[in-house]
Amino acid sequence: MNPLPPNADELVSAYLDGQASPDEVVIVESSPKLMDRVASMRGVADLVSEPAAHPAAQKDAHISAALDAFDALFAQDVDQVPLAGPSVLAGVPTSAGHHAAEHDTTSPALDASTISGVTSLATAREQRHPRRFNTGIIAAAAAVVLLFVAVAAFGLGGGEDSFDVASTQSEAANTVADAPEIESFTDGTSESEAMTADRPDIGALEAAPAPTSAPPQAAASQPAEEEEMAADAASDDGGGLDSETGTALATESLALTPLPLFVGDFLDQEALLRALEQVPVDELAKRVEPFEPGFFPSCQQDVPELAATETPTYVGGAFIAGTAVEVHRIGEGDDIVIVLVDPTDCSVLPATP
């Protein structure tokens, strides 16, 4: 009689869920012992799957409150009208109502310096990659240089050559203009692809490839910091996932609001912040847009500096050395401030030196 394989439970469980490979199916079905285990586990799964009992009055109250919220949202612009927390939830004892009533949110002027453990993205970018030149000046200079090249080429050759140079000029100008931000998020990935993707790769945020179409002139005008950033990204242990996977997750996250973005797993706080630096400001804003005003997921209401903000701040979750953290964002434009929060006690992580 063959002994059970060491991973018998995993084989049986996967078989039960239809997630076993064809080889594993053969192994399970050829073993009476494993099939007995399948029956046992199926019984457990059936028990867990039975609906939990609840009083009918609770169901009616919950649905009624949700419908009231629906009415309030639909009566006006869904994207602009904050939920009336306490009135919507009247009569239903929920923590949401409690929180809404507890925090009469006002929006004081944002001052990153008054918040411990937060990092200004703009400041971080400046410190890490000081801008040696104004981006606009670089772009203008590159355009002028390329204009001369184009004129010269047109004068010498014309025809197809002139088209090539013109294209190059356009690409170069775009490349220079886009240089400070890395556009790693695109649409077009199906949800099924996103759902079947393996662990999200921080490559979505950290992979900051320099545009390959950049001509030599443009490449020369870019600061060497781009290479440094790429090297930094490559050195982070948590990386390795391709940007395509991350793109899928980002896209799905937006589509399946209000689910948060899972940012990734990082060796340390600095690596996470470095990755966030490379996310375009607009993209960060999109992360929190799905959360309607008045809906404050995660620890926002428990951190005074975040609770003072009228709009949701939660961008998504991440891991630092295997420990979960919440990523919050406050501020606008160049004044974006990132706040990392420990979700277990909603304490703000101290900024690393």
Min. distance of Cβ 137 from other proteins in angstroms?
40
Give 28 or 112: the residue with its C-beta nearer to other proteins. 28
Min. distance of Cβ 266 from other proteins in angstroms?
13
Q: How far are the Cα atoms of 49, 62, 210 from residue 66, in angstroms, in the given order?
A: 25, 6, 47
Give 65 or 153: the residue with its C-beta nearer to other proteins. 65
Min. distance of Cβ 18 from other proteins in angstroms?
9
Give 19 or 106: the residue with its C-beta nearer to other proteins. 19
Give 211 or 260: the residue with its C-beta nearer to other proteins. 260
The CA distance from 128 to 121, in Å, is 10
The CA distance from 173 to 66, in Å, is 51
Give 9 or 161: the residue with its C-beta nearer to other proteins. 9
Give 2 or 196: the residue with its C-beta nearer to other proteins. 196
The CA distance from 324 to 112, in Å, is 23
Min. distance of Cβ 66 from other proteins in angstroms?
4
SS3 content of the chain, % helix, strand, coil (to 5): 55, 10, 40
Closest CA to 180 of 215, 145, 221, 146: 221
Min. distance of Cβ 222 from other proteins in angstroms?
35
Give 88 or 229: the residue with its C-beta nearer to other proteins. 88
Number of helices and strands in the chain (H, E): 17, 6
Min. distance of Cβ 315 from other proteins in angstroms?
14
Min. distance of Cβ 243 from other proteins in angstroms?
17
For 211-329, where are the alpha helices, taking DSSP H only? 216-221, 225-235, 243-255, 269-277, 281-288, 304-307
The answer to whether 156 and 118 are in contact (CB under 8 A) is no
Min. distance of Cβ 241 from other proteins in angstroms?
11
The CA distance from 298 to 261, in Å, is 13
Strand residues in the chain grouped as ranges (E): 118-120, 261-266, 314-320, 323-330, 337-342, 347-348
Task: Count CB neighbours of 104 within 10 A.
Answer: 7
3-class secondary-structure state, position 50 = coil
Kind and range of the H or E run holding 143: helix 135-156
What tokens appear for 304 in the block? 């005074």
Give 223 or 258: the residue with its C-beta nearer to other proteins. 258
